[in-house]
Structure 1
């Protein structure tokens, strides 16, 4: 529609120019008849194209242009515009030209004012944008702050909940420990009475039922330690395991088997049987390590129960008559009742160490050797001494190689530990278990 009005306006303007010059060219008899047609078209199209103010500006601009054209024609050929001479033409056309020029000049806004308005609009838009960005940033900051406060509150609440749960568990553990201690003391008193009064059959049966129930418990309930692999069986009650990538020596809790590798004692009866049983049941197997009381002894060995194939190996030694119940230093113990029952079974059946009257003592085993065994032991000791004397490293240290059990912590230098190791029998015997990795060099951590 706008394009149509613009075309109509231009055609009307051209028609007016042609009518003033030669109206017959567009089939009008006179200029007046042509103006009656083109001027209304020109004004109408102009009014529709622009607003009121813009329309007047445009109208007087057109009048200014028409009067300028007419003045040029009047100066060249005044008769064409029906003026008798140039002066009469100027008297009419020049006032029209001047008036239209002044009106256009007055009504037209200065360019600088337009530019100022545009700059004002742009500045307002920039300020509005900056204000919106500032508000958005403040809102994001407020949201982040609220989020952080919510996270802190949630974390604090979670921490409080964990502490409350921990305190409740601790209280429950203390209550269970107290209850367990009372129950264990009562069971110990009952078992002592039963050992003194073997003739009381009803008490024995009651005790057997109680301990059977405890023995049947799976290691998932009892053995709450970690899993390890048996790497070496030293003797019946000393086992080496691979625990979390480290080789550890384990002294089995509450049991004592006859000696086979003790540096100051001969091989005791049923000691080899206990070692063989341990090798058969444990060698290379996965075991669960359960602690009960102090975790290590003064030699740095772990004090623990070993569970294999769902059974407590300490208890198995007692039941087979290959060990005695011993070293009850820090009662109450978790499996004291079942261990007492297992030993009672072996005693009554006269299994293993209980088959020799008077062999088991309160402090160990009463070694009774024949003269032949004594001579063999002496000869073996003499041969070992001669071998050590002929060795390349003589030991002159403060410890007896065939005396009390020693470990690397007893030595200041690796050289002294190595001489002690060789004097005690070297890698063939190693009664003190100083060569853990079997390479013939001991206590490598010492300088």
Structure 2
């Protein structure tokens, strides 16, 4: 009888030990390790199901509806099956003002605006965003592409804009923009044709000859300067003009543009394309 009881007790103890071992091996859902694993899995799932809404370098197809200014346009594009219209502001560039109600039209502003209208109005373009999408006015900030060319760069290359409004983190192309600007400065084209007009803090109309501020035409008159008086007038049609310019920049600063062959100030070295007109206004 005693042996039978011992056998039953031994069997019971063995069963309890087996149950305890099984529970320990499986672990509970609320144990620290299991909970940590569940959180990690949930986090990974959530991250995978919520991709970034703006891929780096992705371009948006759009159409230019209207050019407001040299660096500001209205565009339309498809968004969620609907056509949406936005005002865009080109990043890292600044053209002279032509539509600011608080400022007169600045020299070369109409040139920049007309260039943008010719290049962009009604054209299919692409927009590339940087990190911050909008400015304080709610305008979409972007780099604009027309064909294979970035229009921001074309403005700089042709001397219609300066590098400006450099606000991190929207500085993706600032170094190459500065290199393009430097080349335009060395050529002395448009805004760089008047010394100290385009500066780090903006455009200074007061340095333009005559203090003209109403338009680029007044900033760069097309009339040629009068020849200096001499004791003897020229005796032949081939006599050298009495006004000599060492460069087109020097001529532009004196207000001379489109100097025709035979007129005071014309010289072959200033007529790069040999068409008989030197220091042509571009």
Instruction: Report the TM-score range of the alignment, normalised by the length of the smaller protein.
Output: 0.5 to 0.7
Mapped partners of 1:301, 1:335: distance in 2:
19
Instruction: Tell me if the contact between 2:89 and 2:142 (Cα under 8 Å) persists in the aligned partners.
Output: yes
Instruction: Tell me if the contact between 1:256 and 1:324 (Cα under 8 Å) persists in the aligned partners.
Output: yes
Mapped partners of 1:273, 1:227: distance in 2:
27
Determine the structure 2 residue equivalent to 1:295: 133
> What are the ranges of 5 or more consecutive residues in structure 2 without an aligned counterpart?
1-40, 216-282
Mapped partners of 1:363, 1:293: distance in 2:
24
Aligned residue runs from structure 1 range 403-418, under 5 A: none
Q: Say whether residues 1:280 and 2:118 are aligned partners.
A: yes
Say which SS state the counterpart of residue 131 (structure 2) adopts: strand
Say which SS state the counterpart of residue 353 (structure 1) adopts: helix
Determine the structure 2 residue equivalent to 1:231: 65
Offset, 1:334: 2.0
Instruction: Tell me if the contact between 1:223 and 1:288 (Cα under 8 Å) persists in the aligned partners.
Output: no
Determine the structure 2 residue equivalent to 1:269: 107
Aligned residue runs from structure 1 range 72-221, under 5 A: 163=45, 166=48
What do residues 128-150 of structure 1 show as CA deviations (whole Å, max 9, x unaligned)? xxxxxxxxxxxxxxxxxxxxxxx
Say which SS state the counterpart of residue 338 (structure 1) adopts: helix
Instruction: Tell me if the contact between 1:223 and 1:289 (Cα under 8 Å) persists in the aligned partners.
Output: no
What do residues 1-40 of structure 1 show as CA deviations (whole Å, max 9, x unaligned)? xxxxxxxxxxxxxxxxxxxxxxxxxxxxxxxxxxxxxxxx
Determine the structure 2 residue equivalent to 1:259: 97
Q: How many residues align?
A: 168
Instruction: Describe the shift of the 1:349–1:299 C-alpha distance in structure 2 as closer, same or farther (beyond 3 A).
Output: same
Q: Provide the aligned C-alpha RMSD in A.
A: 3.1
Mapped partners of 1:295, 1:332: distance in 2:
9
Q: Say whether residues 1:249 and 2:83 are aligned partners.
A: no
Instruction: Describe the shift of the 1:336–1:372 C-alpha distance in structure 2 as closer, same or farther (beyond 3 A).
Output: closer
Determine the structure 2 residue equivalent to 1:208: none
Mapped partners of 2:133, 2:162: distance in 1:
21
Mapped partners of 2:93, 2:170: distance in 1:
15
What do residues 343-381 of structure 1 show as CA deviations (whole Å, max 9, x unaligned)? 11101111111111010121210013666957x79xxxx
The correspondence for 1:362, drawn from 163, 179, 200, is 200
Mapped partners of 2:88, 2:160: distance in 1:
18
Instruction: Describe the shift of the 1:325–1:163 C-alpha distance in structure 2 as closer, same or farther (beyond 3 A).
Output: same
Normalization by structure 2: what TM-score?
Answer: 0.53
Greater relative contact order (CA < 8 Å, ≥ 6 in sequence): 2
Determine the structure 2 residue equivalent to 1:342: 180
Determine the structure 2 residue equivalent to 1:311: 149
Instruction: Describe the shift of the 1:264–1:341 C-alpha distance in structure 2 as closer, same or farther (beyond 3 A).
Output: same
Normalization by structure 1: what TM-score?
Answer: 0.34
Offset, 1:282: 0.7
What do residues 179-204 of structure 1 show as CA deviations (whole Å, max 9, x unaligned)? xxxxxxxxxxxxxxxxxxxxxxxxxx
Determine the structure 1 residue equivalent to 2:243: none
Instruction: Tell me if the contact between 1:225 and 1:290 (Cα under 8 Å) persists in the aligned partners.
Output: yes
Mapped partners of 1:236, 1:359: distance in 2:
17
What do residues 199-241 of structure 1 show as CA deviations (whole Å, max 9, x unaligned)? xxxxxxxxxxxxxxxxxxxxxxx85121010000011000110
Instruction: Describe the shift of the 1:351–1:373 C-alpha distance in structure 2 as closer, same or farther (beyond 3 A).
Output: closer
Offset, 1:317: 0.5
What do residues 70-123 of structure 1 show as CA deviations (whole Å, max 9, x unaligned)? xxxxxxxxxxxxxxxxxxxxxxxxxxxxxxxxxxxxxxxxxxxxxxxxxxxxxx
